[in-house]
Amino acid sequence: MQDRQLIRADLVTGLILVAFGLAVLMEAVGMPRFETRRINPWTVPGLVPGFLAIIIAVLGAALALRSTFSAALRAPAPALDPQEAADVRAARRRLLACLGICLAYAAGLVGRVPFWLATGFFVFAFVAAFEWQRDDPPPARARKLAIAAVLAAAAAILVPLLFERLFLVRLP
Amino acid sequence: MLDGLVQLGNAFTVFANFTTLFNVLWATLAGILIGSLPGLTATMGVALLTTLTYQLPPAQAILILISVYVGAIYGGSRSAILLNIPGTPANAATTLDGFPLARSGRGGEAMGIATTASMMGTFIGVLFLAAIAPLLAEFALRFGSYEYFWLAIFGIVIAGQMTSFDDALKGWISGFLGLMVAMVGQESIHAYDRLTFGIPDLAGGLALIPALVGAFGFAEVLTVMKNRAPELAARSVGRVLPKLSELWRYKRTIGRSGVIGTVVGIIPGVGEDIGAWISYAAARRGSKEKEQFGKGSIEGLIAAETGNNTAIPGALIPALTLAVPGSAPAAVLLAAMLIHGIRPGPLIMIEAPDFVFQVVWMVMLATVAIGVIGLLLTRPLLQVLRVPRERLMPVIFVLCVIGPYAITQRLFDVYVMIGFGILGFVLREMKYPMAPLVLGIILGEILDKNLRRALVLADGDLTPFFTRPISMVLWIATLLVILLALPPVRRGVSRLLRWETAA
């Protein structure tokens, strides 16, 4: 992340932390005091969360103030050269693809379809997506897809075998 | 003293069998592979193996985890030397001299030196572990609630300051967020569900292992896939076995790095990476060949690799005796010990003195294993670095999903892993260190219980927090760390020091 971007992100994070701290503080104040149970007032459940919430809000405020007074925030952003801009876009594309495939697997497929099937699908999709090149000739593309399929099949067979038989671990 | 030696001897008998040998070898090899692959850290390796070995007897399970830990911190030197990318954060200082050596065709020599330096580092650390742990446990018996409260705060403040690369504020934010994470779930005094928002799965709290697998596993997968693929720098490695005369020449560096690594390891949450950086800096300051540092200095490489490996036994000292981890992987080990029914803390020398000495042997065995594997299998291990990340990362992510599920059989823990993965990635992109967060999750309960207990004992009076002797040392140290992290104070101190030296 570039300096200027980072300082801007710090400002936003600082404000989020202040809001978060205040929200938790309100929640902590609202936690029961168990007066009817006659407990020692210094043991109320909200004490430590409230204490931490205040510290987090203060640290967040410090972060926000620091970035507000930082000179870099006012300076104009240096323009990226076309190569750099393309790299940033490519990195973002890879990140989103990775996040999307992983989430579809872990939050979507796992627990809903048999684990070996979900894993096979996931490995195939991951390998195929990241080895895909737009200008690949058809034979190279077919080879890559074949490799992805072989890896997916190996993962689908070996993972359950290894973990359930050898490590005696139950799979989702 | 003699008692200690007898216990040390007895502890060895537990491990004098074939199963032990087998487990040490495969686990250390696994650790080396995990460490040498950029994107797989020691913390993640130990966390994943914790979930896979919890069916084994406690001694063997912890042995496997320690072997993975030692193997991974050492294994990271491989990619640091050959790819100029530290395999684990602990090997960042190794790249400075390791990579220039590899580029000039001395990659094999660099790897051999990294191996022996790592071994010696761990040996030195183990000696300190055996000597200091029993003493510290005895000393910790004097800790009351007030002291534990300050220990938790001091741990977060110093870990935040030391792991955050010149931005202590972000380290502290990370640490206090970790403490807040620990507040979720049922609290220990009145069994009230805090911050659960009516979600039954949250009543048990957010477990450490899913959180760690997310923050160190999934977040790494995202980081690795976002970045460009690295290229192998050196194809030919040359001679591997280091010359003994060369090592003897740098005996002072090895000794100094050993002490620094141990001390840094003992500091809560400040682990191998900082151990390596500080011992590297100290070696450069004390070196006769300063100008070589950063250009392929053998001495620099030795300092970095001794410093990080010594921090492993160092980090185990407070983990065993205070239940406060010295590093992120030690935090996972601590959690693993609890899963296996071992209760680290000041009572460990009374309840399970054998265990402390067993840990000494576990680290020793793993150290011998890195020597054997590291020196014999240098060339085959290079093949691992050639596996394309596109094919490796999906397998890693599958392990990240299996790991959290394995212990509790709840899909909820898989979702916790995902949540912490995304949070960890975002925080890391914004330059927040992860170690204080982990430490916070562990220290949260200690802080919560002891602050409230101490307030009850003193009936709300705050004076004992500041006047009891050990408490006083801890709060003054905390205050100093905070003050010295503030830029105006730091500028003032350095001006004062300059003025003194000029006068």
Q: What is the pLDDT of residue B233?
A: 61
Q: How far is CA B355 from CA A157, B267, B324, in A?
A: 39, 22, 17
Instruction: Name which of B398, B405, B416, B450 to mutate to probe chain A: the one with the most chain A Cβ atoms within 10 A of its Cβ.
Output: B398
Instruction: Supply the ipTM of this predicted assembly.
Output: 0.93
* Cβ of residue B177 closer than 8 Å to a chain A Cβ: yes
Q: What is the pLDDT of residue B336?
A: 92
Q: What is the pLDDT of residue A75?
A: 67
Which chain A residues touch B460 with a CB distance below 8 Å? 42
Closest by Cα among B493, B151, B118 to B311:
B118
Of B226, B390, B400, the CB nearest to A131: B390
The model carries a pTM of 0.91
Residue A149 host element (H or E): helix A138-160
Q: Do A171 and B402 touch (CB under 8 A)?
A: yes
CA distance B465 to B476: 11
Give the distance from residue B153's alpha carbon to the nearest chain A alpha carbon, in angstroms: 11
- Beta carbons of B404 and B51 less than 8 angstroms apart: yes
Which backbone phi and psi does B251 adopt, to 5 degrees?
Answer: -60, -35
Which chain B residues touch A66 with a CB distance below 8 Å? 169
Q: Do B394 and A123 touch (CB under 8 A)?
A: yes
Q: What is the pLDDT of residue A155?
A: 93
The mean pLDDT value of chain B amounts to: 90
Which ranges of chain B have pLDDT less than 50?
Answer: none
Instruction: Name which of B54, B176, B400 to mutate to probe chain A: the one with the most chain A Cβ atoms within 10 A of its Cβ.
Output: B176
A81: left (phi over 0), alpha (psi -120 to 50) or beta: beta
Can you give the pLDDT of all 172 residues of chain A as single tens digits?
A: 667 788 889 999 999 999 999 999 999 999 988 888 888 889 999 999 999 999 999 999 999 999 998 876 666 667 778 888 888 899 999 999 999 999 999 999 998 999 999 999 999 999 999 988 878 888 888 999 999 999 999 999 998 888 888 777 778 8
Q: Which residues in chain B (293-332) have CB-CB distances under 8 A to chain A? A: none
Which chain A residues touch B401 with a CB distance below 8 Å? 105-106, 110, 172
Closest by Cα among B40, B37, B29 to B70:
B29
Closest B-chain CA to A150:
B391
B52: tokens are 């896979």
pLDDT tens digits, B202-238: 998 898 889 988 998 899 899 989 987 776 665 566 6
The three-class DSSP label of residue B232 is coil
Residue A17 CA, distance from chain mean position: 18
Instruction: Name which of A1, A109, A167 to mutate to probe chain B: the one with the most chain B Cβ atoms within 10 A of its Cβ.
Output: A167
Q: What is the pLDDT of residue B503?
A: 60
Which chain A residues touch B218 with a CB distance below 8 Å? 102
Q: Which residues in chain A (50-69) have CB-CB distances under 8 A to chain B? A: 51-53, 55-56, 59-60, 62-63, 66
Which backbone phi and psi does B17 adopt, to 5 degrees?
Answer: -150, 170
* Cβ of residue B390 closer than 8 Å to a chain A Cβ: yes
* Cβ of residue A40 closer than 8 Å to a chain B Cβ: yes
DSSP per-residue codes, B373-414: HHHHSHHHHHGGGGS-HHHHHHHHHHHHHHHHHHHH--HHHH
Q: Which residues in chain A (93-152) have CB-CB distances under 8 A to chain B? A: 94-95, 97-99, 102-103, 105-107, 110-111, 119, 122-123, 126-127, 130-131, 147, 151
B64: tokens are 């496997």
Of A47, A122, A171, the CB nearest to B452: A47
Which chain B residues touch A35 with a CB distance below 8 Å? none
Residue A61 host element (H or E): helix A47-68
Which chain A residues touch B393 with a CB distance below 8 Å? 98, 126
pLDDT tens digits, B19-76: 999 999 999 999 999 998 887 889 989 998 988 887 889 999 999 999 999 999 999 9
Q: How far is CA B230 from CA A66, B39, B472, in A?
A: 36, 12, 50
Which backbone phi and psi does B193 adopt, to 5 degrees?
Answer: -80, 110
CA-based torsion, B333, B273, B382, B375: positive or negative: negative
Give the distance from residue B50's alpha carbon to the nearest chain A alpha carbon, in angstroms: 11
Q: Do B418 and A91 touch (CB under 8 A)?
A: no
Q: What is the pLDDT of residue A1?
A: 60
Of B226, B411, B452, the CB nearest to A172: B411
